Chain A
Amino acid sequence: EVYLVESGGGLIQPGGSLRLSCAASGFTVSSNYMSWVRQASGRGLEWVSVIYSGGSTYYADSVKGRFTISRDTSKNTLYLQMNSLKLEDTAVYYCARGGKYNWNDWGQGTLVTVSS
């Protein structure tokens, strides 16, 4: 059984930093395509970042240069380092696992609130 459990969300001031974690079980993170997808309250889904099994990383223009996706093989965990946070980064952040083109498995999400 595949499980994805996000953590690390919370209340942070604009300009601050936060690191999200996604602990995985039932599969190997480093052998899969792993993404972060976010959803502001009452809004639609927005893809944030992906790390390919080979290690390549890609970002949405809205977070490029501020967010960094990474993984720890020994902990089988995916991360999202978020710097220079803006009000518009407020959202539930989901980690998701899938093939290269879409995502089969999702975590329950962690809420990030950027507010002064």
Chain B
Amino acid sequence: EVVLTQSPGTLSLSPGERATLSCRASQSVSSSYLAWYQQKPGQAPRLLIYGASSRATGIPDRFSGSGSGTDFTLTISRLEPEDFAVYYCQQYGSSQYTFGQGTKLEIK
């Protein structure tokens, strides 16, 4: 099973700042199989990025994804108040799916 480790666990930033979230895999993951989700309290997750770098429908271009192999990054270029939430990376491999433990992005 591929284990995804996200860092940091909590990120405290102010609106307008840049956020960089990391997702590290225990073994190499195809870029096609890496996704990022945003989840706000009491809500279902929302797909942000798929294929490591492609934005899902309706996702603002301040969100971007990058990386390959075992290291992937989600970047939010300029934080808006609605961006403060928990972010999860997720991978697919051999008909199994795993999530990272999440990064909480909080207002500083």
Contacts and interface: CB of A to CB of B under 8 A. Distances in A.
A binds B: yes
Interface of A: 35, 37, 44-47, 50, 56, 58, 60-61, 94, 98-104, 106-109
A35 B47 contact: no
Nearest to B100: A44
Interface stretch (B15-23, B66-74, B75-83, B87-95): B87-95
A58 B96 CA distance: 7
A50 B94 CA distance: 12
A106 B99 contact: no
Given A94-B45, A100-B92, A109-B44, 17 more contacts: A37-B45, A44-B88, A44-B99, A45-B90, A45-B102, A47-B97, A47-B98, A50-B97, A101-B33, A101-B35, A102-B35, A102-B47, A102-B50, A102-B90, A104-B47, A104-B57, A106-B44
Name the 4 nearest CB pairs between A and B, nearest first: A106-B44, A102-B35, A47-B97, A101-B92
B99 A47 contact: yes
Contacts of A58: 95-96
Contacts of B47: 98, 102-104
B44 A107 contact: yes
B56 interface: yes
A61 B94 CA distance: 13
A106 B37 CA distance: 11
A103 B47 CA distance: 7
Given A44-B102, A45-B99, A50-B95, A104 B88 contact: no
Most chain B CB atoms below 10 A, which of A35, A46, A103: A103
A94 B44 contact: yes
B62 to A, nearest CB: 20
